[in-house]
């Protein structure tokens, strides 16, 4: 009953919005008969990276660390930030590509295997759960890194490209030129 009343109200609104025509022509919706507004101004540039922004970035990172603390050791949280940096750089910078095989190896050896006292293999449900938590936290970290570097994309990409050259072998998560 409520749906019928809603449809009747919508039909009444549509009927009221069309202006009657004297010459028998079909009524035109008001939006088509009015001139188009000028395009919106481009969005303002992000503010420079001042003390305010640094404090905001630190607060975001603290929230991320606190969110991940129940699930991962400090070493694992550091690795998540490390992988998140590379993921953000490969997403934001045209010349950089993450080496998925290296990331998969890190995920499998450092996050999916049971840690601490547990020596046996993880159950299928536990592996699936750990992978889901890993991917969720990696997405959060990657998004935070992307957001924190949006104001200076060329500088961020230059720093990441420099890292690709400076950091050797397996520690570098970018695909290296052969």
Could you read off the pLDDT of 25-70 as tens digits, one per residue? 665 555 555 566 666 776 666 555 555 566 777 888 888 888 888 8
Residue 126 has what pLDDT? Answer: 82
User: Does the residue 19 lie in any domain?
Assistant: no
Number of Cβ atoms within 10 Å of the Cβ of 7: 10
Specify burial of residue 177 (Cβ count, 10 A radius: 0-12, 13-18, 19+): exposed
User: Does the residue 24 lie in any domain?
Assistant: no
User: Does the residue 36 lie in any domain?
Assistant: no
pLDDT band at 100 (very low <50, low <70, confident <90, very high): very high
**Residue listed under structure tokens 């606190």:** 66
H helices then E strands: how many in the chain?
A: 7, 0
65 neighbors 77 (Cβ within 8 angstroms): yes
User: Does the residue 76 lie in any domain?
Assistant: yes
The domain tally of the chain equals 1
User: Does the residue 121 lie in any domain?
Assistant: yes
- 3-class secondary structure, 174: strand
Its domain, for residue 159, covers 51-171
User: Does the residue 107 lie in any domain?
Assistant: yes
**pTM of the complete model:** 0.65
């Amino acid at each position: 009953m409520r749906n019928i009343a809603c449809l009747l109200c919508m039909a009444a609104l549509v009927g009221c919005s069309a202006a009657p025509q004297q010459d028998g022509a079909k009524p035109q919706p008001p939006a088509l008969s009015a001139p188009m507004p000028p395009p919106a101004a481009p969005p303002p540039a992000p503010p420079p990276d001042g003390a305010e922004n640094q404090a905001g970035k630190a607060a975001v990172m603290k929230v991320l660390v606190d969110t991940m603390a129940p699930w991962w050791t400090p070493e694992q949280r550091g690795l998540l930030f490390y992988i998140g940096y590379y993921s953000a750089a490969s997403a934001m910078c045209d010349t950089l590509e993450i080496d998925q095989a290296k990331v998969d190896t890190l995920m499998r050896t450092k996050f999916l295997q049971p840690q601490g006292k547990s020596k046996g293999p993880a159950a299928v449900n536990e592996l699936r759960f750990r992978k889901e938590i890993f991917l969720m936290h990696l997405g959060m970290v990657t998004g935070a890194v992307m957001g924190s570097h949006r104001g200076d994309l060329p500088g961020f990409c230059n720093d990441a490209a420099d890292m690709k050259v400076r950091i050797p072998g397996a520690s570098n998560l970018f695909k290296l030129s052969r």
